[in-house]
Amino acid sequence: MGSNTPLHGLSEAEARRRLEAGGGNASPVSITKSAGQIVREHVCTLFNLFNVLIAIALALVGAWSNLLFILIIALNTAIGIVQELHAKRLVEQIAVLTAPKARVLRDGEIRELPVEELVLGDVLTLERGVQIPADALVLDGEIETDESLLTGESIPVGKTPGEELLSGSVVVSGACMARVERVGVDNYATRLTQEARAVVPDHSELLTSMGQVTRFTGFLIPPLGLLLFFQAYVLRGTPLSGAVTTTAAGLLGMLPKGLVLLITVSLAVGVAKLAKSRVLVQNLFSLESLAHVDVLCLDKTGTLTQGNMRVERVVQLTKDLPIPLADWMGAFLTHIDDNNATFQAMRAYFPIRDIPQTPTGKISFSSQRKWSAVIFPELGTLVVGAPDRMTGTRLPEELSAEIRRGKRVLMIASTSCPVDPDGPLPEMTALAALVLSDPIRPGAAHTLDYFRREGVRIKVISGDHPAAAAAVAAQAGLEDASWVDMSLVNTEDELLRAAQQYTVFGRVSPEQKRQLVQAFQDQGHRVAMTGDGVNDILAMRKADCSIAMAHGSEAARQAAQVVLLDSDFTVLPNILLEGRRVVNNMTRVAGVFFVKTIYSILLSLFCVLADLPFPLIPIQVTLIDLFIEGYPAFFQSFVPEGRALTGRFLPCVLRRSLPNAMAILLSSAVLLLGGGVLGLPAGQIPLALYLVIGAVEADALLKSCLPLTSLRGFLFLTASVGFFCAVLLFHAVLSLPSLLPGTVPVVLLASAVSILAERLCAFILCHVPRRDRAAEHLGPPIPKA
């Protein structure tokens, strides 16, 4: 693997030089864009290109007063850059806590180093849960790796001394020492880590919708611009400066200039706010993903519980022991490589013992096996694991009752027969059982109740005994704790039925976790998956939003979109609320932005067909941008808004904006064609039309502010009053005449009729079958067992 020119034989200095020149090996995907990328993405946009071209055209004809819009564009862009750079700094500060590190043997001692500092010949110490940071060769020990990033197969691959380890794969059991074989540009780690995160694409409806709008307007602007200019300059004989000015106004109105910026700023503010709460959002649009979630899959251990396992008691099941159980378990724990929370609890209970016998083999714990073993030459093989995996043993009723109360029970058994790590266990002799407990996490009940009230269904997916997982879920406050043993689910149809009928899933394999997430998605749900171990990674990659606990495995953190730095799932409501704030507020304000986009397109076509001049100029469009769109939208975007999301973004926004745009088109047609009939002097028609457009735009702003709060009411009043006062006070700057008394009744009547037309159009649209209604209630209700 790697490039055709391996780095074998390079000195440490040369290896470091290449690392600095070509980028570190196994460095994680940057969770934030570089400052240069942020600046480029805000400056180099299609909308900005159109705005600059329009500004150049206006400058060439000397229409200087109409160039105010370019200053606003520059200010908006600067605000977006500053906000995202601020979010970047905050996120990078906390990202240091989750950045992958490598444990390396240097100068006779184990050191923990950033993975980008690895050099050729370094000796890595690898254990369960670690993502292998560089292509390496096993020197000592045995492990199993998950190479699904490379092969797509999740079956663990055993690795023994002399075999190659591929960067990007994950250790799922065992421990070993391995020598780094490739680094820098010859290493696959960087690309594979990128693929680990790229497996789950960004499910961003906002991003997709704005992309559609950009493509649509970008397709229309060139031909419509040419038509408007040709009609004004050639057909109507308008002077060049006038033709350019009116054409520019039509094109400027088609651009929802501040909306993309507002979405980015709103998301960046949300990410920065969560960073202060020790939540690392690794992608801006992950915030939006969780807002759409209606099924939340939780692990039991370390999520509903605190992850502080402890051995409560030991129940001896036989008196016929070759040596005391404490000695045997002490020797077992001395030689086994596993170090998860369960083994840490056992090590705290059983003192490490040195017995005369040296093991001849060991099998580490894995999520597939659910047991581990150490082989002693005379004592036999000691196996510790799930009771249901111990062939020929039976759990006493008192221990089964402990499981039903939510405790974890592990069986200690022995056998003299050979043990195959890839096959079923032989007949076992039960020696003892361990009863372990893990306290419920404080705040779990409140969090589960919050999600229930918000319509988010909780699914508990655990590798533990289903009765124990259900008991813990019930203790944590889950109302429906109906459970199923997934080890008994063998077919796809059975799994689909289980996904519909049950809430708690026990004895779930890593592959089944992924299949359950897929089953929920097939029902039409948006799924979030929390996890902390390598057995959760497949499901996390499949989920719409993946959430990792910081105390868990490095591989899980690298695969997740969101990392909870305090490993506390009770902060999930905060993430949900931030995501909903962004989407709900953007849906509100986008309707106002799109009103101008739609009526500018329709009015341009009407003017071309009716051989009329476009009735607005750029500075007039800019005033609407400032007062009706930009100012209230900016402040509304920060208002807390935790309502559940209904409908899809773009259809919902178009339904909000289309009635107002049609009303403006109607009033424009009436005033342009029949203004004289209504008693308006010819010079007053542009002013009357502009005031009516402002009134209908203010109506759209009012709709976006409902239900009114003190802040939204203030924004509506100041924006509306400010707009009309600016028109009346600065009409000369806007190239409009002063308002005559006789114009006022016509403006009031036309505004009232236009708003009534808007209401009629909205009523009609409400009775049109909605293709996006499915999004309001995703999938059929899941019945209780």
CB atoms within 10 A of CB 412: 25
| 3-state class (DSSP) for residue 174 | strand
> How many other CB atoms sit within 10 Å of the CB of residue 619?
22
Question: Distance of CA 437 to CAs 310, 405, 478, 484, Å?
Answer: 6, 10, 19, 21
DSSP codes joined into one string, 559-621: H-SEEETT--GGGHHHHHHHHHHHHHHHHHHHHHHHHHHHHHHHHHHHHHHHT---S--HHHH
Say yes or no to pLDDT of 390 above 50: yes
Which of 135, 186, 294, 299 does the annotation list as catalytic?
299
Is 625 an annotated catalytic residue? no
Tokens at residue 576, please?
């949900």
From residue 129, give the alpha-carbon distance in Å to each of 220, 454, 510. 53, 34, 14
User: 485 pLDDT exceeds 90?
Assistant: yes
- What mean pLDDT is predicted for residues 270-279? 87
Structure tokens, 405: 């109360």
Outline where 277-394 has alpha helix (H): 286-291, 325-335, 341-349
The pLDDT of residue 49 is 87
- Least confident range from 65-79, 474-488, 730-744: namely 65-79
Picking from 449, 431, 193, 457, the residue whose alpha carbon sits closest to that of residue 314 is: 431
Q: Which residue has the higher pLDDT, 474 or 193?
A: 474
Looking at the chain, the domain(s) classified CATH 2.70.150.10 span 12-29+108-187
Cα separation, 701 vs 318, whole angstroms: 78
Burial 740-772 (b: 16+ CB within 10 A, else e): eeebeebbeebbeebbebbeebbeeeeeeebee
Binning pLDDT at 50, 70 and 90, where does residue 184 land? low
Most confident of 359-373, 491-505, 565-579, 673-687: 491-505
CB 470 within 8 A of CB 462: no
Query: Where does the pLDDT of residue 226 fall: very low under 50, low under 70, confident under 90, or very high at 90 and above?
Result: very high
Looking at CATH, the fold of the domain delimited by 42-88+202-271+576-776 is given as Calcium-transporting ATPase, transmembrane domain (1.20.1110)
Question: Which of 163-167, 578-582, 751-755 is the most confident on average?
Answer: 751-755
| Closest by Cα among 555, 736, 455 to 169 | 555
The long-range contacts involving 227-230, CB below 8 angstroms and separated by at least 24 positions, are 227/604, 227/608, 228/604, 228/607, 228/608, 228/614
The pTM of the full predicted model, rounded to 2 decimals, is 0.78
Please give the pLDDT value at position 200. 42
What is the structure's pLDDT at 97?
62
The 10s digit of each residue's pLDDT in 75-124 is: 878 888 887 888 777 777 766 666 778 889 888 888 888 888 888 889 99
**Residues 498-517: what's their mean pLDDT?**
92
Average pLDDT of span 137-148: 86
CATH class of the structural domain 310-437:
alpha beta
Cα 589-635-526 angle, rounded to 5 deg:
50
Which two structure tokens, joined as six digits, stand for 58?
């206006």
pLDDT band at 8 (very low <50, low <70, confident <90, very high): very low
Question: What are the residue ranges of CATH 3.40.1110.10 in the chain?
Answer: 310-437
Domain spanning 12-29+108-187, CATH architecture: Distorted Sandwich (2.70)
Residues of the chain with CATH 1.20.1110.10: 42-88+202-271+576-776
Helix, strand, coil % (nearest 5) of the chain? 55, 15, 30
Higher pLDDT, 606 or 73: 606
- How far is residue 3's CA from residue 5's CA, in Å, rounded to a whole number? 5
Q: Kind and range of the H or E element at 105?
A: strand 101-106
Instruction: Write out the H or E segment, with its range, that includes residue 542.
Output: helix 537-542
475 token code pair: 């203790």
